[in-house]
Amino acid sequence: MSVTRRRRRERQIIVFGVLIIVIVAIGVAAAAVFRGDAEGPLSAGFTTPVGEFESDVTLVCPPDGAMPLSYDQVVVRVDNGTDISGLAGTTAGQLESRGFTVVGTTNWSRSYDDYVQILFGADGVQQAYTLATQFEASTDAAVELVLDNRDGITLDLVLGTQFSEAPNLRDALAPELDMELPLTAGAECLPVNLVEPRPAPNVLPENPLAEASPSPSAEGEGE
């Protein structure tokens, strides 16, 4: 009986010893993968096809590490969504004085009761966030960034009833307007390709910056 118990004990020691060695080896390998010293067994990324992605989030994230653009690179039409006469013109003048490229003012097709709304296309995300920094946002007065299916970088700025109660831009010397301060969403957001765009307005202003782009020079032809 003592021989049988001894052999059983020896087998148990061998089994546990092998298990300990395997566990230690797995731990060392996992640590190497975590540090980036070795590649893991799963090289394919875990992604969800765009067509299968569903979310209630409609806010587009700014580009990673994006900084505010020079104001003259932001093309905007100012739209009055209130019944306050002259609101769009006054705000357009304020934006122009800061260097923004304003391409007109108009009365919005329907009333807008909230603060301000910025409509932009997929190419105008950085422009939209740059413009949004000009407004004092709060819980009760939010800047609504709305992606639509327009082409180009032109924006629509819709002024709402809440804005008309204190129709001023953020102070030009406010720290939030530091041009070295990265653009942030301040709320849950998604990359632009994962947000379903709304229909754009039927009539959109032209982009004067696109018209001003130089055409390829013919100098040197025939030499």
Q: List, for residues 25-48, the tens digit of each pLDDT value.
A: 787 777 666 666 666 555 544 455
Classified as helix, coil or strand, 142 is: coil
User: Is the pTM above the cut of 0.85?
Assistant: no
Residue numbers in the chain where pLDDT is lower than 50: 44-46, 213, 215-223
pLDDT at residue number 54:
73
pLDDT at residue number 2:
65
Paired residues of 79 in beta bridges: 106, 158
Apex CA 209: angle with CA 203 and CA 210, to 5°? 70
Task: Give the DSSP H or E segment for 130.
Answer: helix 125-132
Chain position carrying tokens 């997929």: 122
Quick one: which of 177, 205, 168, 176 has its CA closest to 94? 168
Cβ proximity of 175 and 147 under 8 Å: no
What is the dihedral sign for C-alpha 112, 115, 121, 127? positive
